[in-house]
Structure 1
Amino acid sequence: MGGSVKDVQSKAELDNLVRTGVPVILHFWASWCEASKHMDQVFSHLSTDFPHSHFLRVEAEEQPEISEAYSVSAVPYFVFCKDGKTFDTLEGADPSSLANKVAKVSGSIKPGDAASPASLGLAAGPTVLETVKELTKENGSSKGTSQVQVGLSDNLKMRLQQLVDSQPIMLFMKGSPEEPKCGFSRKVVDILKEEKVQFGSFDILSDNEVREGLKKFSNWPTFPQLYCKGELLGGCDIVIAMHESGELQEVFKDHGIDTRNEAKTTESGNAKGGTSESTGLSTGLTSRLRSLINSSPVMLFMKGTPDEPKCGFSRKVVDILRQENVHFESFDILSDEEVRQGLKVYSNWSSYPQLYIKDELIGGSDIVLEMQKSGELKKVLHEKGIVPAETLQDRLKKLTASSPVMLFMKGTPDAPRCGFSSKVVDALRGEGVSFGSFDILTDEEVRQGLKEFSNWPTFPQLYYKGELIGGCDIVMELRSNGELKSTLSE
């Protein structure tokens, strides 16, 4: 691992560097992943080719806070930052794409240009590149990506489920509670001991099948992983935050787990949503929570706001809803502790974000992401009568086709607000052509959007059956040639 690649020591260090605005390229890797090792050699040589950018290596499992912040779910994974924000990403073993993306973020080539031969990682040697190609073939990727996570066999799924369910509180860690093999595992063990709860554990270093399978099973890329009654609570950072806020103790109590090491058999019901028969919440708070949940057909309880999410999981759900083009309202649970704690009891769901559709809890970020990937989210939205919001593109298509002959002008046919619009109105009336019209001075969104939609920068614009005919000059030319009426009646 040569070149000028540096290992990231902390999220604070990384955040400070990204904020400077200089190009930063991150390689999320894992010591057990062969594709990561070979791509790291290409990465190191690229760092020599582009000395003015910062090349940083992040071991995904050892830096869970950073991995979660950048939504890393497989390795190798690359993130390209510029001007203080994420510029691009790349998942998998693809030297050529890596070189081109590095060159783009470093400002050495224009978008679309090919990287120089040296930047294709040739300096890393043909053996490295050939190995990467073979790894790509083995992983069955048509686009050269190398997904580390693979499908789970039924036997492995059953084994993982049995392990997860083997104890009310189950910790998958590196090492054992008596001898943790990483600082993050040690922290979670210490917290559980401080909470005075009994828990089981599994050393993921002792079984690579469980180690790799559990990442896919839980949709969580790092360890440790803490489960309560079969449900994933999260990794080290989330457990620390829940412990410090008192939330972890509440979750244990909600799930009937005693914090004094005494066996207890109280059942918590379905941990994937719904309301408890008896929540213990006041009537006023219960009413308020119901009112908030029903304040929009699609309601998201999140940390922060859609424009400024305060956690990566909230950001994921916001992005998904925007990709689905769904109108939704949100509530920042960081702004109201009563709602934050009350909703966990009301919904029987211990973490945030929480997405509701028509008063029904859908789940958190992992469930929403999985539903989107499978197409189930779109299906649920449709079944509940939630239609995608009309985009500007959709609106413009409808407007241009709203009349066989459609004129976008300044003013109205009876009161044009510019000479060019007046000329076109006179031409159409002179030919006896019936037409619809839209005053672009009344709607700035349509006025600006239509310029891009039609690739025509000025007004008026005349359309026939949804197709642009042209502006004033073209209309005048067609009329003088005796072709206007026939053009608008074909």
Structure 2
Amino acid sequence: MGGAVKDLTSKSELDNLRQSGAPIVLHFWASWCDASKQMDQVFSHLATDFPRAHFFRVEAEEHPEISEAYSVAAVPYFVFFKDGKAVDTLEGADPSSLANKVSKVAGSSTSAEPAAPASLGLAAGPTILETVKENAKATPQDRAQPVSTTTPTDALKTRLEKLTTSHPLMLFMKGSPEEPRCGFSRKVVDILKEEKVDFGSFDILSDNEVREGLKKFSNWPTFPQLYCKGELLGGADITIAMHESGELKEAFIEQGITTNDGEGGIVSLEDRLKTLINSEKVMLFMKGSPDEPKCGFSSKVVKALRAEDVSFGSFDILSDEEVRQGIKNFSNWPTFPQLYYKGELIGGCDIIMELSDGGDLKATLSE
């Protein structure tokens, strides 16, 4: 059954093993963490001494679904299962506690003596034990390291800022959109394609400085990471949830993210707004219609334009959320109504009323 440490490949594999009721010990580790590597040596010796148990290694950052299921925030981290249930955990490089907890779930050791703290050397070997103890002294903060400990330098921070804003929608993933190298990255790519949005990408496996720096920069320990105009939207779980609820599409509309028309061409929201704004010489974006305004400010502007006998077109921003949100960013004007003349913003209700009261509205719209 046991005797060797195996790499856990999926949560479903773990769930199947738990159904057997056999003792299971998981070691969550990270390749950059020395304490993880050294505790893995202890872990391997314990696997040999307790062959009736399953010993699995889990790279915390490679398997966020499993890490999140057991609230793994630092490595090394151990989870112990007995009769199909998680019964104990251990955080940090503590070989004696590890041996104790293993013996509780896995029974007696095959060594001449039980794996108690005083006899840990039987399981780990004196050289490994001393190495781990020395490392533990050098890492006193609970003897565990957060999944990301890299503090970006000013130069790296500047580089990360440029990377995250290099495309309106930027995906930091493992591999490329054409060849994703992990299931979570592939899922997010599929979602973005289904949403028909244009996006840039960066392969974090190609640059360890970016990979480690971005975790601290975003305060997000796993990949993929999806950014919208420099702001982190989230990882795979959040992207999936937002996509399923429709919030992702709403976020893209609000930020004016480019969409695909389904026929191979790219239709920019900015281009659509320009077309609408220039569809009439005088164009009013309002709530409701000129005959049935749906707010007092829109009603005031309509009356002012009609009092001056100005011919104008209109668009009901309540009828199209994409236009409503997009034009705020396009014009850098957060409220409605908005009045345009020959494609240029004149202003909102206050400015229009000032022009009207001063007798300058018709002249402004006739230049």
C-alpha separation between the residues in 1 aligned to 2:96 and 2:212? 27
Residue number in structure 2 paired with 1:50: 50
Could you tell me which amino acid in structure 1 is paired with residue 94 of structure 2? Answer: D
Give the corresponding residue for 1:141.
140
Deviations 1:188-243 (A, max 9, x none): 22332232212222221222222123223334332222222334333334434443
Alpha-carbon distance in 2 for matches of 1:150, 1:17: 33
| CA contact 2:79–2:90 (8 Å) conserved in 1 | yes
Pick closer, same or farther for the CA change 1:116–1:145 going to 2, 3 Å.
same
On the 8 A contact 1:49/1:118 being kept in 2, the answer is no
Does structure 2 conserve the Cα–Cα contact (< 8 Å) formed by 1:185 and 1:224?
Answer: yes
CA contact (8 A) 2:82 2:105 kept: yes
Q: How does 1:161-240 map to 2 (within 5 A)?
A: 161-240=161-240
1:150 maps to a residue whose letter is T
| 1:95 paired residue number | 95
In 1, distance between residues paired with 2:16 and 2:61?
21
Contact 1:72–1:221 under 8 Å retained in 2: no
Cα distance change of structure 1 residues 45 and 200 upon mapping to structure 2, 3 Å threshold: same
TM-score by length of 1: 0.46
Q: Give the C-alpha shift of residue 26 in structure 1.
A: 0.9
Q: Is the contact made by 2:115 and 2:123 (CA closer than 8 Å) also made in structure 1? A: no
- Indicate if the aligned counterparts of 2:176 and 2:203 stay in contact, CA closer than 8 A: yes
1:121 and 1:163 map into 2 onto residues whose CA distance is 49
SS for the counterpart of 1:172 is strand
Aligned partner of 1:252: which letter? F
Secondary structure at 1:209 match in 2? helix
Equivalence map 1:27-426=2 (5 Å): 27-106=27-106, 115-116=115-116, 120=120, 122-138=122-138, 140-147=139-146, 149-150=148-149, 152-153=151-152, 155=154, 156-260=156-260, 261-264=266-269
Q: Which range is displaced more, 175-184 or 115-124?
A: 115-124
Cα deviation, 1:416-469, whole Å, max 9, x if unaligned, reads xxxxxxxxxxxxxxxxxxxxxxxxxxxxxxxxxxxxxxxxxxxxxxxxxxxxxx
Contact kept? 2:91, 2:144, Cα under 8 Å? yes
Aligned equivalents of 1:264 and 1:237: distance in 2? 27
Q: Aligned partners of 1:163, 1:54: CA distance in 2, in Å?
A: 42
CA distance in 2, matches of 1:185, 1:121: 42
Whether the aligned pair in 1 keeps the contact of 2:115 and 2:122 (CA below 8 Å) is no
Give the Cα–Cα distance (whole angstroms) in 2 for the partners of residues 122 and 217 of structure 1. Answer: 43
- Which residue identity lines up with residue 58 of structure 1 in the other structure? V
Query: Which structure carries more relative contact order (alpha carbon 8 Å, separation 6+)?
Result: 2
2:105 aligned counterpart, secondary structure: helix
Q: How far apart in 2 are the matches of 1:108 and 1:123? A: 12
Alignment-mate amino acid for residue 78 of structure 2 = F
Q: Give the equivalent residue in structure 1 for 2:296.
A: none
TM-aligned CA deviation for residue 12 of structure 1? 1.9
Amino acid at match of 1:218: S
The one-letter amino acid of 2:148's match is Q
Give the CA deviation at 1:136: 3.4
Deviations 1:306-350 (A, max 9, x none): xxxxxxxxxxxxxxxxxxxxxxxxxxxxxxxxxxxxxxxxxxxxx
Q: 1:141 is matched by which residue type in structure 2?
A: P
* Contact map agreement 1:195 1:249 (CA 8 A) in 2: yes
Name the CA distance, whole Å, in 2 between partners of 1:141 and 1:204: 30
Aligned with 1:250: secondary structure? helix
Residue 24 of structure 1 pairs with residue 10 of structure 2? no
Q: Is the Cα–Cα contact under 8 Å of residues 46 and 121 in structure 1 kept in the other structure?
A: no
From the superposition, tell whether residues 128 and 17 of structure 1 become closer, same or farther in structure 2 (CA, over 3 Å): same
TM-score normalized by the length of structure 2: 0.60
**One-letter amino acid of the structure 1 residue matched with residue 60 of structure 2:** A
Code of the residue aligned with 1:239 in structure 2: it is: T
Kindly state the Cα deviation for residue 69 of structure 1 after the two structures are TM-superposed. Answer: 1.3
- Cα distance in structure 2, aligned partners of 1:264 and 1:129: 62
- Match for 1:149: what amino acid? S
Q: Shift of residue 42 of structure 1?
A: 1.1
Taking a change above 3 Å as real, the CA distance of residues 151 and 181 of structure 1, as seen in their structure-2 partners, is: closer
Counterparts of 1:70 and 1:39, CA distance in 2: 19
What stretches of structure 2 of length at least 5 have no aligned partner? 261-265, 272-285, 287-367
Q: Which runs of 5+ in 1 are unaligned?
A: 267-277, 279-490
Change (3 A) 1:59 1:4: same
- TM-superposed CA distance for 1:106, in Å, is 3.5
Change in CA separation of 1:178 and 1:68 when aligned onto 2, cut-off 3 Å: same
Count matched residues: 262
CA distance in 2, matches of 1:82, 1:38: 25
Matched-pair contact (CA < 8 Å) for 1:42–1:121 = no
